[in-house]
Amino acid sequence: MTAPLVSRHRDAAGTARHDERGHRRAANRAIGVSAIGLAVTGGLELAMAIVTGSVALLGDALHNLADVSTSAVVFIGFRVSRRPPSARYTYGYERAEDLAGLGVALVILSSAVFAGYESYRKLVGGGTPSHLGFGIAAAALGIIGNQLVARYKATIGRRIQSATLQAEAKHSWLDALSSLGALVGLVLVATGQRWGDPIAGFAVTLFILHVGYEVTAQIVHRLMDGVDDADITAARDAVLTVPEIEDATVRGRWMGRSLLVDVEARVAATMTMDVAATIGAQVENAVLQAVPSVRQVRFIPRTRAPQPATVLTPTA
């Protein structure tokens, strides 16, 4: 007695229905707009880094331009995830989005290595940035541009439940902090502190490493089928409100942006298939209402083993 796997739907009374095509369209638009914004911001910062000779501004500019390549990686991940299930990949290709997220993490960590190396080279080799006004203006532009891109991608990523897009948003948020570090370094140089620029470069490196760690942990959590405890608890509590359900075990796993939930419920041994199907529909609806991030629910009824009859032996 197993109910079929069903896609999540929302009725007219229960808000909007899941729109996979609309979500993909929104994700692609977010990636495209962000890539253009970062290309413009990074290009201007790179030009000013060459003019000023600031190593912190150079690292920030190259990090922004590297984000354009990560946008391409994310775009490819979204394209691959559209493929329908096949005989070899029976659950489909949605996890390609999470694999793209690992590509984002790799670029972040590579940027940290590069920024750290350039900062060390500048600290040891010496040299003072020039045209500080232009450099400070470019760093301020980097802060504003990255903040706008980060908020846009984070909003879209939360709405469509994309871990990769949210990872990209954190990456852009990091770039705003690295731009701030470059700005502080240039201000210190303007006050006569020559070491301000390379030290700011090291600060940028630490920010990059921190966010790179967080992004990697988030993506690995998804790939390892990690699910929030609160979601599983809420789903189980919702299942136990359904009549005829005596006990239940709830498991979940992420497939890209889809949270799949299996409900293994204990029911009476005398339950018919028709009744089980009705109970399964009630379980599905209860879980979807309790946990908005769930896309699919599979109901698996299990009957109790019959208890042996008790024989009463008359006493003498």
CATH architecture of 229-303: 2-Layer Sandwich (3.30)
List pLDDT tens digits, range 270-285.
Answer: 888 888 899 999 999 9
- How confident is the model at residue 127, as a pLDDT? 67
Residue 292: φ, ψ to 5°: -60, -25
Residue 17's pLDDT band, with cuts at 50, 70 and 90, is very low
Q: Which amino acid is at 14?
A: G
Strand order in the sheet with 294-303: 6-7, 294-303, 258-267, 247-255
Tokens representing 2?
A: 């197993």
> Is there a contact between 68 and 42 (Cβ–Cβ < 8 Å)?
yes
- How confident is the model at residue 261, as a pLDDT? 93
What gap in Å lies between CA 74 and CA 76, rounded to an integer?
5
- How confident is the model at residue 16, as a pLDDT? 41
CATH 1.20.1510.10 fits 6-223, yes or no: yes
Which of 68-82, 208-222, 243-257 holds the top average pLDDT? 243-257
pLDDT for residue 13 is more than 50? no
Look-up: residue for tokens 């029911």? 267
Helices (H), 130-162: 132-160
Residue 112's pLDDT band, with cuts at 50, 70 and 90, is confident
What value does the mean pLDDT of the chain take? 80
Residue 265's pLDDT band, with cuts at 50, 70 and 90, is very high
Q: What predicted TM-score, i.e. pTM, was given to this entire model?
A: 0.64
Domains of the chain, by residue range, sit at 6-223, 229-303
pLDDT (average), residues 154-170: 79
The tally of CA atoms less than 13 A away on the side-chain side of residue 23 is 18
Q: Which amino acid is at 6?
A: V
Across 134-148, 160-174, 212-226, least confident range: 160-174
What is the distance in angstroms between the CA of the first residue and the CA of the last residue of the chain?
Answer: 47
Residue 263's pLDDT band, with cuts at 50, 70 and 90, is very high
List pLDDT tens digits, range 166-212.
Answer: 877 877 787 787 788 888 888 888 888 878 888 887 887 887 788 78
- How confident is the model at residue 306, as a pLDDT? 53
101/69: higher pLDDT: 101
Compute CA 74 distance to the chain's CA centroid, rounded to the nearest angstrom: 11
The tally of CA atoms less than 13 A away on the side-chain side of residue 243 is 3
Which of 3-12, 39-48, 118-127 holds the top average pLDDT? 39-48
The percentage of residues in the chain with a pLDDT greater than 70, rounded to a whole number, is 88
